[in-house]
Amino acid sequence: MIIVTGGTGFIGSNLVAALEERGADEIVICDVLGTEEKWRNIAKREIRDIVHPDRLFDYLERHVDDVDVIFHMGAISSTTERDADLIAQTNIVLSRRLWKWAGNNKKRFIYASSASTYGDGKQGFADEQEIEALAKLKPLNAYGWSKHVFDRRVARVLSDGKEPVPAQWAGLKFFNVYGPNEYHKEDHMSVICKLYPQIAAGASAKLFKSHSKDYENGGQLRDFIYVKDCVNIMLWLYDNKDVNGLFNVGTGKAQSFKELAEAGFKAVGKEPKISYIDMPETLREKYQYFTQADMDKLRNAGYKDAFMDLEAGVKDYVTNYMATEDPYR
């Protein structure tokens, strides 16, 4: 049995799709469906059960002998969420309880961290998991802070050796992920998902102006990674039970928002038209102008697959999903 928390969300639902495609037939999703359209993300999937988070631990106890691995993708992932109590309960307390359960029962545990833990990037983007290295990072928002708290707690537990550790553990610092099944995220969708309607309509793609003298308009840089590559890394970890650690999940190559928009225009066969708008003042002090994952650690652990480049990833996303009648994976 494979448990996927956040299994109706963006990355989680893509993982569920890939697991089913490779033959897994005992998939259990833990999530809150609410009144959104997240159910559409799993409408094509065959699953064993859907469990509300409030009943997750009762479910785990009833099926303790059946559980193989927990993919913990569930989280409050909004970087602008202001309710720190909600973030703490969901991203820290629940994660801590699941870690303890996996450790006590010798189960495998793979969880979502975030590149937002790196803050403004001044400390670099190396996925070090030592206590001293983690203590230097300064996230810029409550979401990043919550993920960082859990990463640090994992490091402390491993260092102290005072409590059981999961049979396998991996934390994944996702960088700028884009791809199908993110439509429910609204303001927090990837930039290419927001730009596509403008591009398809023949309008100008609107990007934020730069408010840094070091970057031209549209020149802000991100490590954009296609969700299918993220899933491939998780499947590789699932197949390699002896690999443990805190790993970056990016491509290792930063590209500009202008390049992203141009890839969108190319995917629909149109000449680029890009305009620039002022960035909201509330974002300016917390804005990252550059992110680029250091991928050496994952490569040294044995991951060999190439990552889809930005142009190819955007083309797949646009032509096989967003431009179709059924955009869901």
Catalytic residue set = 143, 185
- Name the token pair of 127: 């996925």
C-alpha 73 chain-centroid distance? 8
d(CA 312, CA 326): 20
In 3-state terms the chain splits into helix, strand, coil percentages (rounded to 5) of: 40, 15, 40
CB under 8 Å to 82, separation ≥6 — which residues?
142
The DSSP symbol for 164 reads -
Under a CB-based contact definition with an 8 Å cutoff, are residues 326 and 247 in contact?
Answer: no
As separate numbers, helices (DSSP H) first and strands (DSSP E) second, the chain gives 12, 13
- Name the token pair of 172: 């994944």
